[in-house]
A and B are shown apart, each in its own frame.
Chain A
Amino acid sequence: MSTREKVRHLLEQSGSLTLLLSLAAVLFALVAGAIMLVLTRHNPAVAYAALWKGAFGSRRGIGETLLSTTPLILGGLAVTIAFRCGLFNMGVEGQIALGGLGAAWAGYWIRGLPAYIHQPFALLVGVLLSVIWGAIPGYLKARFKMHEVITTIMLNYIAFNIDGWAVAVGGPMKDPGPLPASPVILATAKLPRILPQTRAHAGIFIALACVVLVWYLLFHTRLGYCIRAVGLNPTAAEYGGINVPRHLVATMAISGALGGLAGAVEVLGVHYRLFEAFSPGYGWDAIAVALLGMLHPVGTLLSALLFGALRSGSTLMQTVANISRDMVMVISGLVIFFIALTRPLGGAVHTSRGGQSGADLDA
């Protein structure tokens, strides 16, 4: 270990360096984004003012920020827990797609349930679908050593096509109306709104509960300990008597559950029906959210709030300054880029050094 690494290690132990670096990453991304806006002939001051105003400037804006934060917390937790086990879950977007499908189906198909049963039931159906969808890459990794980056991405496209098929003409969930969408869910399945005159819904409480749950799971249970042990060094974990393949599958199933919950909450709280590509890319933002959140549930919560604000503000930015909402994805990319730049081989993001963890791409 070189001196530089020792210093880094000490600072990381204190946790202050990673926090500082996360803040720097945000600053870097915003400055680089501003330069990009100037290059594309926009006024960054106008753009960022619209972004801020859109996110926090009005009651409605705050509601939209909470609304976007909700799936980002859940998606970020999905990426976080997988990362802790040394797995790169790039499949959150697909897990969102299927979680939404399951929730929508249970939301309009099942009748006669009281709201306090219908809502959790619809959430559960969505989660079950995405648990399967998450467990598949876990199993393929454990059994066939197939790299989860490739399998989760392939499964994303398959999931998108399943959604598209379900609501296309002739599809099993197609609404009789003209839209390529499912029927609207029943009132008993809709998550209640929490702020008058906004679309913010009770899903945020579910997301907050999951932050606590994942934190407890990771740091205060045997399962969480094993997950982290596998992530740090699977070979050592194996010698220590941990069943590595089983933990890979279990972790991906939990990760899939969280991703699917994001989709289910989005359908039951915002759209009230399934349509294709209802997620504007939350599954991709989730990767930036998790990395920026230092792969810690609380950090994930904070960075989800930041990206939620960016998502919500970007709508106004698009209207006022005529800048594509996809500016958020550019900022996501820049944030990850900066984190990659400043945390070589360090921090909680484990690398392939010594051949362990998710980065070694064997068949």
Chain B
Amino acid sequence: MQIWMLSLAMLASTLRIATPIIYAALGSVMSERGGVINIGIEGTMLLACFTAVVGAYYWSPWVGVLIAMATGGLMALIHAYLSVTIKTNQIISATAINIFAVGLPNLVVPIIWKGHHAVSPVVPRIPDVRLPIIANLPIVGPVLGHQNPLVYVALILVPVLHFILFKTRFGLRLRAVGEHPRAADTVGVNVARMRYIGVISGGILAGMGGAFLSIGYMSQYSAAMTQGRGFMGLAAMIFGNWKPAGALLACLIFGFADAFQAAAQSARVLPISPRLLLSLPYIMTLIALAGLVGKSIPPAADGKPYEKD
């Protein structure tokens, strides 16, 4: 019985841990469906973690979420400008964001909070909610019934984005500029504008992931707290063949690996050092990617700047 309860609790924490990765993966899907690679999702998320805490500290957690989304959008705008308008190397421009994002919060934290360095004080977080009927159901209840609102938002976004991408005119256009920009251009789609929209919406999603991490899952900022989750989102997107639902599955696998190592650490069931177990999600990510050789196909124009002749 106890094992049973424990595994349900582990599924609930899998969902929580997977959530920031889901946002990162969905953000990557939006960006790359439009043909722009954004490995800056990691740094974007980290910066959003920080600004969300600032918002929660001065105003309220929900203001923090909005500020984090704006932060994500702004960082993505910079990346979109560099990769769509300037047509620079997209990996280099995103690397600038990733490195910048590690440094900047550490510069600002001691100014806002005297005496603090790499870690902010504890701020109000977005309270968890209890879903009226679902919470009382067996099995589903303990897993899904009592979670953070941003967890539910992430789960709802998966079918919503799938619908937008594959069933709407907008989605068709976005995918068209990612697959065949010249054809899209010929029939009158504004390639640059669509790509900006893809990248920026991806950044906003990454911002929500950052907000969840710092003021939903935790309630403070600490240096480099994203710990590669943005990159895991990228891997999840590839694993999911650039589709929201497939990416969700990969995120849940990575989240489960993390939840499993945490549970194994506290229960001390495995004869492996806890410090080594921490690597499990990263190893899972590598295995997941290696396991789908040639089965995953990116949008044809992914990462390629479009030039009119």
Contact = CB atoms under 8 A, between A and B. Distances in A.
Contacts, number: 188
B231 A344 contact: no
A181 to B, nearest CB: 14
B107 interface: yes
Interface string A240-262: 00000000000000000000000
A147 B87 CA distance: 21
B156 to A, nearest CB: 27
A157 B279 contact: yes
Interface string A123-153: 0000000000000000010001111011101
Interface stretch (B141-149, B186-194, B289-297): B289-297
B197 interface: no
A345 B282 contact: no
Interface string B75-112: 00010001000111111110111111111101111110
Interface residues of B, number: 58
B211 interface: no
A217 B275 CA distance: 39
Contact of B304 (A144, A149, A170, A355): A355
B298 A362 contact: yes
Contacts of B227: 157
Interface residues of A, number: 63
A326 B89 contact: no
A193 to B, nearest CB: 31
B52 to A, nearest CB: 19
A288 B294 CA distance: 33
A154 B282 contact: yes
A324 B106 contact: yes
A361 B96 CA distance: 18
Contact of A363 (B86, B90, B238, B279): B238
Contacts of A350: 89
Nearest to A358: B91
Interface in A277-302: 281, 284, 287-288, 291
B290 A287 contact: no
Interface in B253-300: 273, 275-276, 278-279, 282-283, 285-286, 289-290, 292-298
Given A90-B95, A343-B89, A344-B88, 15 more contacts: A88-B95, A151-B286, A157-B279, A158-B279, A164-B275, A324-B107, A332-B100, A332-B103, A333-B96, A336-B93, A339-B92, A344-B86, A360-B298, A361-B234, A361-B298
Q: Which 6 A-B pairs have the closest CB atoms?
A: A333-B100, A329-B103, A165-B275, A336-B96, A330-B103, A337-B96
Interface of A: 36, 40-41, 88, 90, 140, 144-147, 149-151, 153-158, 161-162, 164-165, 168, 170-171, 281, 284, 287-288, 291, 322-324, 326-334, 336-337, 339-341, 343-345, 349-353, 355, 358-363
